Amino acid sequence: MLLEKGSRLVMIGDSVTDCGRNYQAAPAAWDSYGDGYVRLVNAVLTGLAPEQKIMVVNKGVNGDTIRHLKARWKQDVTALHPDYLSVMIGINDVWRQFDGELQQLETVSPAEYEQTYCELLEQTKPQVKNIFIFSPFFMELNRSDPMRRRVDEYAAIARRIAEKFGLPYIDVQKRIDRYLQSLSYFYISADRVHPNLQGHMILAKAFLDTVEFDWKER
């Protein structure tokens, strides 16, 4: 497995990562994980590979864009001294362009998304053993859908950044698209953005496959 024994994994992102975690809880405390893919990743690593003693920390925050991540990066990443980091960000950077127009919300352009992402990785990569970049995703097969088209644009940026820094890229959109070939998004989400438990299982499996978790030996 690509996560070393006794290591610390920080998983940062927006509401898909947050998923109802207790913000006042200590890192890796019982109610700190939320009810999404972070909890499932921790359940697998703790329940099936206890000898690895890997600490999992959830630092997702509802509504965050890459701009919000930058503002809290020192506190929620640097100060925690992770060995490994995963980042899932981008859906709100896109969504605010669709649901925030009448509120006149400031939005994150593709250029700002890419520049800010690169800045964060440049300062963090030398301090950690690896960083896993999740793609933003939208549970819609129609690539002509305006929001799906925009999410694909930001996902392409995330992929390009991962390749630039030589980091693992976790293509969640590809796995979601494969799922939607068989069943409607109604089975994994109420709004095409926030997964239910089944949807979070797709995310957790994508991460665990990327770190080469060996299911057969467990």
Q: Is 191 in the active site?
A: yes
Element (H, E) at 69: helix 66-76
Q: Which of 15, 86, 135, 189 is catalytic?
A: 15
**CB 82, CB 9: distance < 8 Å:** yes
Which pLDDT does position 124 carry in this prediction? 98
Q: Is 177 in the active site?
A: no
**CB 124, CB 83: distance < 8 Å:** no
Q: Which of 14, 18, 32, 194 is catalytic?
A: 194
Which pLDDT does position 104 carry in this prediction? 59
pLDDT in tens, 138-186: 999 999 999 999 999 999 999 999 999 999 999 999 999 999 999 999 9
**CB 156, CB 90: distance < 8 Å:** no
Element (H, E) at 86: strand 84-88
Q: Is 15 in the active site?
A: yes
pLDDT in tens, 191-210: 999 999 999 999 999 999 99
**CB 94, CB 154: distance < 8 Å:** yes
Size of the chain, expressed as the number of residues it contains = 218
pTM: 0.96
CA 146/CA 69 separation, integer angstroms: 25
Give one DSSP letter per residue of 129-192, joined into a string: SEEEEEPP--S---TTSHHHHHHHHHHHHHHHHHHHHT--EE-HHHHHHHHHTTS-GGGTBSSS
Provide the residue ranges of all domains of the chain, joining segments of one domain with +: 8-210
CATH fold, domain 8-210, is Rossmann fold (3.40.50)
CA 120/CA 154 separation, integer angstroms: 16
Burial track 2-31 (b if 16+ CB lie within 10 A, e otherwise): ebeeebbbbbbbbbbbbbebeeeeeebeee
